[in-house]
Amino acid sequence: MISSSKLKSVDFYRKIPRDLTEASLSGAGLSIVAALAIVFLFGMELSNYFAVSTTTSVIVDRSLDGDFVRIEFNFSFPALSCEFASVDVSDVLGTNRLNITKTVRKFSIGTDLKSIGPEFHSVPITTIINHGDAADDEIVEDSVLLTAHTFDTFSRQYPILVVNFYAPWCFWSNRLKPSWEKAAKIIRERYDPGKDGRIFLAKVNCMEENELCRRHHIQGYPSIRIFRKGTDVREDHGHHEHESYYGNRDTESLVATMEALVTTIPQTANALPGTKSDNASDAVKRPAPITGGCRIEGFVRVKKVPGNLIISARSDSHSFESSQMNMSHLVSHFSFGKRINSRTLTDMQRLAPYLGRSYDKLNGQAYFMSSELHENVTIEHYIQIVKTEVMSQKASKDDKLLEEYEYTAHSSIASSRFIPVAKFHFVFSPMQVLIEETSKSFSHFITNVCAIIGGVFTVAGIIDSILHNTMRIVKKVELGKNF
Q: Give the per-residue SS3 of 430-458.
A: EEEEEEEEECCCHHHHHHHHHHHHHHHHH
Q: Kindly give the interhelix angle for 171-190 and 251-262, rounded to the nearest 10 degrees.
A: 50
First to last CA, the chain: 51
Nearest CA to 433 out of 351, 344, 363 is that of 351
In the set 82, 170, 206, 213, the catalytic residue is 170
Nearest CA to 104 out of 299, 301, 280 is that of 299
Q: Most distant CA pair in the chain: distance in Å?
A: 145
Q: Are 202 and 163 in contact (CB under 8 A)?
A: yes
Nearest CA to 289 out of 213, 379, 203, 229 is that of 213
- Tell me, yes or no, if 450 is annotated catalytic: no
Q: Are 234 and 272 in contact (CB under 8 A)?
A: no
Residues 6+ positions from 270 with CB-CB distance below 8 Å: 157, 158, 159, 197, 229
Nearest CA to 160 out of 258, 250, 255 is that of 258
Q: Are 364 and 40 in contact (CB under 8 A)?
A: no
Query: Distance between CA 70 and CA 403 in Å, rounded?
Result: 13
- Helix, strand or coil, per DSSP, at residue 292: coil
Q: Are 147 and 215 in contact (CB under 8 A)?
A: no
DSSP letter string over 360-406? Answer: TTTTTEEE---TTT-TTEEEEEEEEEEEEEEE-SSS-GGGSEEEEEE
Q: Kindly give the interhelix angle for 25-50 and 442-479, rounded to the nearest 10 degrees.
A: 160
Residues 6+ positions from 65 with CB-CB distance below 8 Å: 337, 338, 403
For residue 478, how many other CB atoms are within 10 A of its CB? 8
For residue 468, how many other CB atoms are within 10 A of its CB? 15
DSSP 320: -
Side-chain-side CA neighbours of residue 248 (13 Å): 18
Query: Distance between CA 41 and CA 452 in Å, rounded?
Result: 7
Residues tagged active-site = 170
